A = this chain, B = another copy of it.
Amino acid sequence: MSSGTPGRDAPERRPALTRGRIVRAAIGLIEREGADALSMRRVAAELGVAVMSLYNHVPNKGALLEGVAEHVVSGMELQDDPSAPWQERVRALVRAFRTVAHEYPRCMTIVLTRRFDTTVGLRPAERALALAEAAGFDGVTAVRIMRALMAYALGAQMREIGFGKMLHHLDTSPAENFAKLDAATFPHVIALGPELARHDPEADFEFGLDLLVGALEALPRARSAR
């Protein structure tokens, strides 16, 4: 009758309800059923508690979403090789966001939408600023570089998972859908149809990243790179 867990005394069946457990349950629910399926009631059911119990650890649903965004962002693994050239370290930083975005694909809309003000969001910013300085850029430029890199990291993901689906009807069955396009207004889209239908998000991502890093290399610097 003994289960795998050390059941002696069995003081409490479930671990204590905490903000962390609530946030993780929410993330699991979102990844399994999508962001629309998230409700306080569903999360409570998942954890086997009454709805109102959640409110002892989270002030409201907005705060829960904030917690989800924070948790995802804090999952960014910002490993760094200080001996590598700054170009490669920049690439690694931007890729780190892409990696976490792939880990929590359905949570991304929340991350991209909800604002939160924990310091976890500052970690990638700090890293980007540090790298820009290592590359020899002055402070003003470093801030702008950080913002451009963040814009690309966010946008590349956004385009890949959501807005890219602007071309949604081209994806499913290209041949049929391209036929419906007006040849006069969309000549290039039609001509490049096969290429547009092909999906290599990795290559697309790296292409844009190369553009940016290359542009940074060409940018005049205050000091020479370390």
Smallest Cβ distance from A133 to chain B, in angstroms? 6
Query: Residue A189 contacts which of B122, B154, B195 (CB distance < 8 angstroms)?
Result: B122
Q: A151-B156, A214-B215 are in contact. Are A166 and B109 (CB under 8 A)?
A: no
Task: Determine how many copies of this chain the complex contains.
Answer: 2
User: How many angstroms between the C-alpha atoms of A147 and B142 in the bound complex?
Assistant: 25
Q: Is A12 on the interface with B (CB-CB < 8 A)?
A: no
Q: Is A63 on the interface with B (CB-CB < 8 A)?
A: no
Quick one: CB contact mask for A178-209 with B, threshold 8 Å, 1 for yes?
Answer: 00011001111101100110000001100110
A window 7-61: CB within 8 A of B: none
Contact status A148-B207, CB under 8 Å: yes
User: How many angstroms between the C-alpha atoms of A207 and B149 in the bound complex?
Assistant: 11
Contact status B207-A163, CB under 8 Å: no
Contact status A186-B143, CB under 8 Å: no
Query: Residue A208 contacts which of B133, B139, B144, B195 (CB distance < 8 angstroms)?
Result: B144
Size bracket, chain A contacts: 35 or more
Q: Is A102 on the interface with B (CB-CB < 8 A)?
A: no
Chain B residues with CB under 8 A of A147: 159, 164, 204, 207-208
Could you name 28 residue pairs across A and B whose Cβ atoms are closer than 8 Å?
Answer: A109-B113, A112-B112, A112-B158, A112-B163, A114-B162, A115-B162, A115-B163, A115-B166, A116-B166, A119-B182, A121-B166, A121-B167, A122-B166, A122-B170, A122-B181, A126-B188, A126-B189, A142-B192, A143-B196, A144-B203, A144-B204, A150-B159, A150-B163, A150-B164, A154-B159, A158-B158, A211-B216, A214-B218
